[in-house]
Amino acid sequence: MPSNAKIVISQFGEAELLEILDADIPSPQSGEVLIKVSYAGINPIDVKTRAGLGWAAQHNKNNLPWTPGYDVSGVVVKQGEGSKKFNLNDMVAGFIGFPLRGGGYSQYVCVPENELALVPEDISLKPAAAIPLAGQTAAQALEKAQIQSGETVLILAGAGGVGHIAVQIAVAAKTKVFASCSESNLSYVESLGATALDYSKPDYLQQLGSVDVLIDLVGGQTAIDAMACLHPGSRLVTVPTITASQVCEEASKRGIIGMGMLVEPDVTQMEELLGLISSGMIKVQIEQVVSYQNVVDAHKKVETGRARGKILLDMQG
């Protein structure tokens, strides 16, 4: 039987504690399919959980070793009883097992078929693995903020996994988009259709005037400082959960409508995002594809908080 390499967290801590195990290939249960995983996307929540931070770590602390990974793309290789949404050899992708099951950092994983979307033939499996969690977070944050055509939207961290998708959706919705990033990402963020703002400059928000919507992907004091360009009645969606209550409290003092959020997997939205990639409306930025054997380096890179777009694990071979 071919082996199934999977990456596990056996104890919380540094990236070096990630282990690669050789497991059996699992059998799909009723309503599931077995996927041979091509790529697994890495998200900041994976890195925080590995470090023992946040509620996914809290809830899994008695469930170690645990395999992280919510974003996968691959090929259906076996169907469980009653599973009929996909055919064998279909290319699929999804935002799977969120928040507690995870499991995407595996060469083979069983997934309920209703968590998966068919990947159109004109899309490679790389963007399909990069888009699930980040793309749905971007779409849901903008929905929550109820952006309207003609409004001014400021996105903090426009070059990141969530940010680069949020910028493109907000531009397509005909809002005027400003997005913060470091100097090295200015031209990249401009290429997405936003006005890029270099956050290393102390007065980087001064040119903005008044903003209708703030999508905060940084959190904490950075979000609080950016409230200087909001007005009473502006909407703010703060995405990092750890500082959400602090940011919303400060927003409320200023008459700003502050909202936290937790992304919810939504297959219909995933299919729509794949359609937007297929039509060329969204371009998925992949900074690096790293062999799963180098998962430690990949986690360290995501941990810097400086990746442009997404980092993927290549789970093949």
Ligand X SMILES: NC(=O)c1ccc[n+]([C@@H]2O[C@H](COP(=O)([O-])OP(=O)(O)OC[C@H]3O[C@@H](n4cnc5c(N)ncnc54)[C@H](OP(=O)(O)O)[C@@H]3O)[C@@H](O)[C@H]2O)c1
Write the DSSP assignment of 93-113 as a string of letters: EEE-STTTT---SBSEEEEEG
97 binds ligand X (CB under 6 A): no
Do 211 and 229 contact (CB within 8 A), yes or no?
yes
Give me the least distance between CB of 178 and ligand X, in Å please: 12
DSSP state of 114: G
User: 182 or 195: whose CB is closer to ligand X?
Assistant: 182
Kindly state whether residue 159 participates in binding ligand X, applying the rule CB under 6 A.
Answer: yes
* Rounded-to-integer distance, Cα 86 and Cα 79, Å: 8
Is 130 a binder of ligand X (CB under 6 A)? no
Contact with ligand X (CB under 6 A): which of 45, 76, 139, 223? 45
Annotate 198-234 with DSSP letters as a single string. ETTSTTTTGGG--EEEEEESS-HHHHHHHGGGEEEEE
Q: Should residue 43 be labelled a site residue for ligand X when binding is judged by CB under 6 A?
A: yes
Residue 166 beta carbon to ligand X: minimum distance, rounded to whole angstroms: 8
Q: How far is CA 99 from CA 22, 88, 144, 175, 237, in A?
A: 24, 27, 20, 32, 20
From candidates 25, 53, 80, 182, binder to ligand X by CB under 6 A: 182
Segment contacting ligand X by CB under 6 A, of 56-64, 76-84, 151-159, 246-254: 151-159
**Is residue 199 involved in binding ligand X (CB under 6 A)?**
yes
Q: Which residue, chain included where needed, has tokens 């996307």?
A: 41
End-to-end CA distance of the chain: give it in Å, rounded: 15
Q: Does 299 bind ligand X (CB under 6 A)?
A: no
Cα separation, 221 vs 228, in Å, equals 12
137 touching ligand X, by CB under 6 A: yes
For 238, list phi and psi in degrees, rounded to 5: -105, 120
Does 240 bind ligand X (CB under 6 A)? Our answer is yes
Q: Is residue 89 packed enough to be buried (19+ CB in 10 Å), middle (13-18) or exposed (0-12)? A: exposed
Residue nearest to ligand X (CB): 160
Determine which residue in the list 93, 156, 214, 273 makes contact with ligand X, applying CB under 6 A: 156
Among 222, 278, 288, 294, binds ligand X (CB under 6 A): 222
According to the binding rule CB under 6 A, does residue 251 interact with ligand X? Answer: no
Task: Output 26 or 182, the one with its CB closest to ligand X.
Answer: 182
Is residue 69 involved in binding ligand X (CB under 6 A)? no
CA–CA separation, 158 and 169 (whole Å): 12
Pairing state between β 310-314 and 286-291: parallel
**CB closer to ligand X out of 91 and 167:** 167
Q: Residue 218 interacts with ligand X (CB under 6 A)?
A: yes
Q: How far is the CB of 273 from ligand X (least distance, A)?
A: 14
Q: Which residues bind ligand X (CB under 6 A)?
A: 43-45, 134, 137, 156-157, 159-163, 180-182, 185, 199, 217-218, 222, 239-241, 261-263, 302, 305-308
